Amino acid sequence: MPTFHFELGELPPAAEALRAEVREFLRAELHEHTPAQRARSWGGFDREFSRKMGARGWIGMTWPTRYGGRERSALERYVVLEETLAAGAPVSAHWVADRQSGPLLLRFGTEAQRQRFLPAIARGELAFAIGMSEPDSGSDLASIRTRAERVAGGYRVNGTKVWTSNAHISDYMIALFRTQHDAAKKHEGLTQFLVDPKSPGITINPIIDLRGAHHFNMVVFEDAFVPEAMRVGEEGAGWKQVTTELAFERSGPERYLSSLALILELIREVGKVPGERAAAVVGRLVAHLATLRQMSLSVAGMLEAGQNPNLEAAVVKDVGTTFEQEVPEIVHALLGVEPTNDTGTHLQQVLGYLTQSAPSFSLRGGTREILRGIIARGLGLR
């Protein structure tokens, strides 16, 4: 029998009051942003913007005040997230830390690590990167080979991380290394570390994506030193922690809003009185969008209630990425306009950006196949 369950979420009045505040802030901040810029949303890296979000108390907002948080509810945080994403704000200088690195440190970090990093994250001053994937380890994350060997006062690291988004402009990276080598027990012997990407022995090589943009990197460790104090959690606890971290990553509303900018351009294009076919296309997209928002809100409600909606989050992510990935295809089928890079109409540029980003929607943070495997496990099939 299905083991997942979605209840309707409900936002308290405090969250709605906050929404108005967030919207007002975003309107002022983003009024010059073009639709193509909005489409980039979490591709956009803007430290100035992140600091302003931090100053408002909208980063790490559920964390304890002693770590710079505001002890707001998960539902209030949800409202900030969905408004920020719906507006297409450039969130990537604080997004990763707010969503996964910070919560990870809060849960598994030492007191000293929490004191040192969390308040700065909450101020929007620290950008984080994630060092999980390696050239030979993608979906099979537990097979990673980058090694951290104990030396006096810490660890010596050798190996290569890849696809490390924004490593070249981040302040820290939370990386998963192998601290023990036993081929039979690959899930054991993994440990997480806080790494300063500017330390000696670390080389960051850019990888250019298909659009010609630079966010990916290959990070090479050659006898790089990581102090003991920068280990996150116990030695060998890395797998459990990384699984928790990936669950944080999947639980947010970001997994269905990536193509909102294109839906909005489509609505502008078809005009106030669309033909029957165009109306049906818009209506279907809106039906999906509205439903995904309720699903996403439902997950937020479960988080607020202290439940553990890992399976539900995987379901929402799978349904959500399938949806956001098909939007460029549907717009193409309806309108047939040519997608462009940075010339042409807003519609063409947004379509151009999303056509070229859509393949990544079902890869990042766990591929579609891996995610569906998680759902199948939840159904009791494996």
Partner 1 sequence: MNELRAILSDVVTRLFTERVTRELSEAAEQGEWPGALWQAVEENGLTLPLVPEAKGGAGGTWGDAYVVVSAAGRHAVPLPLPETIVASWLLVAAGLDVPLGPLTVAPVQRDERLKLVRRDGGLRLDGTAARVPWGRAAKHVVVVDETDGRATVALVAAGGARVTRDTNLAREPRDTLAFVGAPVLAAAPAAGLPHDAVRLHGALVRAAQMAGGLEAILALATRYATERRQFGKPIGQFQAIQQGLAVLAGHAAAAGMAAANAFRAADRRDPWFETAVAKARVGEAAGIGASIAHQVHGAIGFTYEHQLQFVTRRLWSWRAEFGGESEWATLLGRSVAERGAETLWPFLAAR
Ligand X SMILES: Cc1cc2nc3c(=O)[nH]c(=O)nc-3n(C[C@H](O)[C@H](O)[C@H](O)COP(=O)(O)OP(=O)(O)OC[C@H]3O[C@@H](n4cnc5c(N)ncnc54)[C@H](O)[C@@H]3O)c2cc1C
Contact positions vs ligand X (CB under 6 A)? 129-133, 138-139, 163-165, 360, 363-364, 367, 369-370
| 283 touching partner 1, by CB under 8 A | yes
Query: Among partner 1, ligand X, none, what does residue 206 contact (CB within 5–8 Å per kind)?
Result: none
- Tell me the two tokens of residue 17: 């009051």
Torsion on CA atoms 75, 79, 81, 87, rounded to nearest 10? 170
Q: Under the criterion CB under 8 A, does residue 315 sit at the interface with partner 1? A: yes
Site residues for partner 1, 360-379, by CB under 8 A, read 369, 371-373, 375-376, 378-379
The CB-of-40 to ligand X minimum distance in angstroms stands at 12
Using the rule CB under 8 A, is 280 a contact of partner 1?
yes
The angle formed by the CA atoms of residues 279, 283 and 284, to the nearest 5 degrees, is: 120
Choice between 222 and 369, CB closer to ligand X: 369
Measured CA to CA, the distance from residue 229 to residue 65 in angstroms comes to 23
Among 298, 325, 355, 357, binds partner 1 (CB under 8 A): 298
CA distances from 21 to 27, 28, 52, 103, 311 (A): 10, 11, 13, 25, 32
Binding residues among 14-53 for partner 1 as defined by CB under 8 A: 19, 23
The smaller minimum CB distance to ligand X, of residues 73 and 92, is found at 92
Q: Which secondary structure element, helix H or strand E, spans residue 28, and what is its range? A: helix 13-30
Q: Which does 165 bind (CB under 5 to 8 A by kind): partner 1, ligand X, none?
A: ligand X
312 is an interface residue for partner 1 by CB under 8 A = yes
Dist CA 332 CA 160 (whole Å): 39
Query: Within a 13 Å sphere around the CA of 181, how many CA atoms are in the beta-carbon half?
Result: 6
Neighbours of 143 (CB within 10 A): 14
Non-local (6+) Cβ contacts of 343 within 8 A are: 349
Stretch that binds partner 1, among 6-14, 97-105, 178-186, 354-362 (CB under 8 A): 6-14
* Closer by beta carbon to ligand X, 69 or else 103: 103
Give the number of residues written for the chain.
382
Cβ closest to ligand X, residue 78 vs residue 163: 163
| Torsional sign, CA 232, 361, 311, 61 | positive
**Residues found near partner 1 in the complex (CB under 8 A):** 1-2, 4, 6-8, 19, 23, 82-83, 86, 260, 263-265, 267-268, 270-274, 276, 278-284, 286-295, 298, 312, 315-316, 318-319, 322, 369, 371-373, 375-376, 378-382
